Amino acid sequence: MPRTALLVSAALLTALLSPTASHAADDPAPVPVDRFEGEVPFASQPAEGIFTWGSGTDDPPALQLTARSDAPEGAEVLTGSYDISGYGGFTHDYASTEPAHDWSARKGIRFWWDGQDNGKKVAFEIKDGGANGEASELWTTSFTDDWTGWRQVEIPFTDFVYRTDYQPVGGIDHVLGLTGMWGYAVTLPVGVKGRFAMDDVELYGRADQSLRANVTTDAAVYPVKEGGTAAVKVTVATTGSAPIDDPVTVAYETAGGTADPGKDYTPVSGTLTFPAGTASGTSKTIEVPTLRDKAAESAETVPLKLTVTGAKAPAETPQVVVDAHGLPYLDAKLPVRKRVADLVSRMSLAEKAGQMTQAERGAVGDGGDIATYALGSLLSGGGSTPTPNTPEAWAKMIDAFQLRARATRFQIPLIYGVDAVHGHNNLSGATVMPHNIGIGATRDPRLAEQAGAVTAAEVRATGIPWDFAPCLCVSRDERWGRSYESFGEDPALVQSMETVIQGLQGRANGRDLSRNDKVLATAKHFVGDGGTEYGSSTTGTYKIDQGVTKVTRQQLEAVHLAPFETAVDRGIGTVMPSYSSLDVLGDGQGPVKMHARADMINGVLKDRMGFDGFVISDWNAIDQLPGDYASHVRTSVDAGLDMMMVPYTYKDFTGTLVDEVKAGRISERRIDDAVSRILTQKFRLGLFEHPYADTTGAAAIGSPEHRAVARRAAAESQVLLKNSGGLLPLKKSEKVYVAGSDADDIGNQSGGWTLTWQGSSGNITPGTTILQGMREAGGNLTYSKDASAPTDGYDVGVVVVGETPYAEGVGDVGNGHSLQLSAADRATVDKVCAAMKCAVLIVSGRPQLIGDRLDGIDALVASWLPGTEGEGVADVLYGKLPFTGQLPVTWPRSESQLPINVGDASYDPQFPYGWGLTTLTRVPQGGATTLRALALAATAAERAGADRTGRELVAEARLLVQQKVGQRITEPVAKPFADADHLLLTGRYGEAVQKLTEAYRAA
């Protein structure tokens, strides 16, 4: 799923006024911030200056000071042009070598803007506290450019809100103090080519108390059991944290709502007074008693109206909620199916529509819409995190959203989802596992389960009960930008790794889902996303992702559907369809988007396979269906989708769904089925009894025990492709020259879907790089990233090169990416390997074309994307553990061979599927006679059901064959060798050894 777009959390300006209209008679003279007469240079920190920024090289705007006769002040104004695809804007930072400025005596900030009447929002933020302008808290608002010509924009400081989507230092105190200010920034509109002009930024007005003092409550919702008393804490606080100058009064009364006064609660009213001189942060409490009766009831609300004098009132009226009680669906002793049936029978159509809706956390702001639209689910897109990005902040955020759901009639808890595709990868400090392609290389189902268990424990400890993983795609073309999300190209390998489902969910019957270390898993992307044809995508500049999969019915069943059947047998809780289209040859339908394929979702998944969980759409995927929006909704719901991921359009979806049902175009039976499926999983997860985060496991997030699992996975994922002269493992006595772009870059070795959707290079999360792991292993190392340091006098070189992070179609080959190493990487390999014996490690999500340099490389390792535990790579480099990994995909000789997969009629790769040398101390010896004996023994083991013995016998035969073949891998060798690994995974051990014998003879 795509990451969430950069979010501007903004309050619309309360006024766009001329200075004469807004000035009070006793206002002090304004204080200039920028006159744009050349007094502030174009410069960046540590000096004071104005500078631009953006998400890419084309995104920063072009700025200049321009003389204009119509300048509102002085002779010059700041002008600029922009054409932004990601994000971009400009900043004025004060000098970091000088003290910060104090703006607390002022009412706000204002400036002149030359309106273009483009209807676009322009974000304006100020920088409060911290060490300097680039290490401060960001507070933001926005205005809409909907006028022509110069207008002065005035922004009271009370309009600024804490920015929730990004903070450079993770937040400081979440208080706009105004006493340590470092400047401002302007974020320009995206997706429109434009120009702007700005002049005379200044501080204006006097900070009177009604603007700088505010009254808040400690929550928006106060659930209380029937007969209990709700305590509403009311706090007065000031901008700048000074005591209040004048009294503040808060008159309160209970009025309105769905609860009956005198029957459900005792009405209260009165006034709280905070005298002049009261310290900022002082609180007083209002108590609202509720009454007990004998009737079973749904939840009832008691709004507490607050009228504030002398300060800004709370943004919304707090609500006391008398909890639902006595109804059958609340009885945990009843079977889940009865609880579901009872609850569905009570729900309105609008409430059912809400349960079928999933919104992005950034779209719902403080969460008021959760109750308004009875939303059933929220998610975090890639990189959509709380600030600070800590386990505590995640739990606090999700608990706040769950609290909002308590204000609904039946208090149905939210189910919060996140893409934890290789560990809890959105969370800073989490244990980041190797991506699935590396897990597939381990050939270790038990380790896959352990990795899933660690992921589940870390995810659930932050309050999240649902993981959009695992990806069960069978990757058939490594040009695909998602190929690293696949366990491999062989459906049998993917099926063998589905033990990860038990790691995530526990037992297949769902009885472990309520545990505080398990989550609901998602099998994705149904079906065929790994088989799309190159060039078939119609999504932007994508080449293969979200394209068309053309297969026969037999290929569909054998390759792409098989892993989902296994997932259903393992009790998978949810399934996510693919963005891609499916074209089953001979069925007469042509390519049809998977989100519209009722024959696959209803017919195959639900009816034939017996899937009893619920189906969740991908991010905005229904928008890719043909027709108008009503047909998008109708088609997808009728196709079998139960919940729609509509991140920012949840209002449109719920309204349209209700309209379609009322019009009879979607049946109520279909709606009830969808809602029943969703509620079943919520009950199984124990959310009705425990909706809030259980953080008892939070201390284990990123713990040594969890990292040990990731370290083992990283070690077992390493595939030794070549090892001339036994160069590996290294000896600690050897003097080693380490180089390469990925040797000391934890962002690169973690890949996409790490902290953000696309991931990024650099020191982005705690962990150990490969270089650090080698140092900790005791190696005698010299490091030179670009091999610029002298290369004389070393025993061996280790060059770590490969890809930089990407995700989804952004990483498609031909969309700014290739299977070739970068020019810098190639130069580093050439320099080091020409100077000494060398081992090259390729850190990547897919094979890289290395054949033209293979003769000059002594040892070659496919390191994949090992995650945060670089010690695991060092463990095999230095022989603490042996290399045991095997290729989960075919390693091609050239891009022209793609797609190339095990089982192809023509098969001549650089390295075949299943290839992987070992550094075990004992490598099997023998020849044809030994292989005949192994074949007989393997056949006997197969007949006896002795799977472990059968696998061990095939492994011994494989190592024996690899030893003879060396690097003389020809088509007659490669084809039977790859076929043997597929036969092994399908339990045909005797045939596997026979195929290996065929490869041995061909060698």
- Tokens linked to 765: 């999360």
Q: For residue 420, what are the CA distances in angstroms to 83, 186, 381, 513?
A: 34, 33, 10, 17
**CA 443/CA 887 separation, integer angstroms:** 9
411: phi > 0 → left, psi -120 to 50 → alpha, else beta; which? left
Looking only at the bridges linking them, the beta strands covering 120-128 and 76-83 are unpaired
Largest separation between any pair of C-alpha atoms in the chain: 105
**CA 200/CA 182 separation, integer angstroms:** 17
Q: In the 8-state DSSP scheme, what is residue 725?
A: G
> In sequence order, what are the residues at sequence separation of 6 or more whose Cβ sits closer than 8 angstroms to the Cβ of residue 394?
385, 386, 427, 462, 463, 464, 693
If you count DSSP H runs as helices and E runs as strands, how many of each does the chain have, helices first? Answer: 25, 37
Helix (H, G, I), strand (E, B) or coil at 357: strand
The strand ranges marked E within 164-258 are 181-187, 193-204, 213-217, 221-224, 229-238, 248-254
Q: How many other CB atoms are found less than 10 A from the CB of residue 619? A: 22
**CA 420/CA 547 separation, integer angstroms:** 24
Cα dihedral sign, 748-751-755-759: positive
Q: How many other CB atoms are found less than 10 A from the CB of residue 18? A: 10
Beta bridge partners of 217: 234
Q: How many other CB atoms are found less than 10 A from the CB of residue 672? A: 16
The answer to whether 902 and 489 are in contact (CB under 8 A) is yes
Q: For residue 718, what are the CA distances in angstroms to 195, 405, 463, 771, 863?
A: 52, 46, 33, 15, 5
The answer to whether 621 and 595 are in contact (CB under 8 A) is yes
**CA 431/CA 706 separation, integer angstroms:** 7
The answer to whether 247 and 282 are in contact (CB under 8 A) is no
Angle (deg, nearest 10), helices 650-662 and 629-639: 70
**CA 744/CA 368 separation, integer angstroms:** 45
Q: How many other CB atoms are found less than 10 A from the CB of residue 882? A: 18
**Nearest-5° angle of CA 148, CA 153, CA 155?**
155
Query: How much of the chain is helix, strand and coil, in % rounded to 5?
Result: 30, 25, 45
**CA 72/CA 34 separation, integer angstroms:** 13
Catalytic residues, which ones? 618, 808
Helical spans, DSSP H, in 531-649: 553-555, 562-569, 598, 629-639
**DSSP readout, 868-888?**
TBTHHHHHHHTTSS------S
Amino acid at 892: P
The strand ranges marked E within 218-299 are 221-224, 229-238, 248-254, 269-274, 282-289
Q: Does residue 189 have a cis bond before it (omega within 30 degrees)?
A: no
Query: In the Cβ-directed half-sphere of 276, how many Cα atoms lie within 13 Å?
Result: 3
Looking only at the bridges linking them, the beta strands covering 581-584 and 614-615 are unpaired
The strand ranges marked E within 623-768 are 644-645, 719-723, 735-739
